[in-house]
Amino acid sequence: MPTETGAPQPRRTRVQTVMEVIGTHRLTPHMVRVVLGGEGFRDLAFKDGTDQYIKLLFADPALGLERPYDLESLREHLEIAQMPVSRTYTIRHIDHQNEQIWVDFVIHGDQGIAGPWASTVQPGETISFFGPGAGYAPRPDADFHLIAGDEAALPAIAAALESMEADARGTALIEVRDAQEQLPLKAPENVSVVWLHRGGDFSPQTTRLVEYLQDLQIPDGDVQVFIHGEREQMKAVRRLLVQDRGMERRGLSLSAYWALGRYEDQFQEEKRLPIGKIDPE
């Protein structure tokens, strides 16, 4: 954006943090936790939220690039296809005492970039990322919490449940492949946790989240909503809650974490297009 004198303002420098892989843990057949630590932890400016997300950066190992990546310089001599790419993940847990963060990855075999990295990365290797950012935290004064999502939203859901006051009331719906993908979660006594099993990979035919929400009784009063997942499902949830149930859209934390058949680069590009928008124009 030009200044009053007409000179362009310099682009704001984004801070890139480098952290070390401390270890990995296989949580379920399709989820791996990567623990990150090192001096980079002290540079992180954590936000007031339970969906604190970071944008991990990945580059082709054959290029031999060193972290942190100088993206401005790389743009000058690399083809677009060779530039590092980002993948967005929620921080599952912040361990201030040990100066570590936990990041949980859904694994789909050798598909994608981040999942295979999490499956094979070794202690001592490094990763760099932007963030964290955040936009949601359970409100202590809410009468009821409605939380829902699929595997991609599970880290944020788990963090939200752990942060709630002991007297919180609500329902958390989590859709996963099967019982082997369930994780032990800590939730207030009056917040029910319901696991929905697809019986296989996600597809429009196997997903159960919207169907379950259609029959769910939502009490009157101040209901705080956090629902994140696959893009077309989030569009259906938006229609159900806003158009059919008459809930105020402005108070809902409702967005897509991913889209079926899209890698994140395509998914992010489509956010600017009608197909990528949860809300109609």
**pLDDT at residue 1 greater than cutoff 70:** no
Dist. CA 210–CA 149, nearest whole Å:
10
d(CA 90, CA 269): 20
Q: Classify 208 as helix, strand or coil.
A: coil
Grade residue 172 by pLDDT with cuts at 50, 70 and 90.
very high
Closest of 138, 152, 222, 232 to residue 187, by C-alpha: 138
**Can you list the domains of the chain with their CATH numbers?**
17-133 (2.40.30.10), 144-272 (3.40.50.80)
Which residue spans within 234-281 are E strands per DSSP? 252-258
175-221, pLDDT tens digit by residue? 999 999 999 999 999 999 999 999 999 999 999 999 999 999 999 99
pLDDT of residue 85: 95
Answer whether 0.85 is exceeded by the pTM.
yes
How do residues 85-143 score in pLDDT, each as one tens digit?
Answer: 999 999 999 999 999 999 999 998 888 899 999 999 999 999 999 999 998 999 999 99
Distance in angstroms (rounded) separating the CA atoms of residues 240 and 210: 8
Q: What percent of the chain has pLDDT over 90?
A: 83
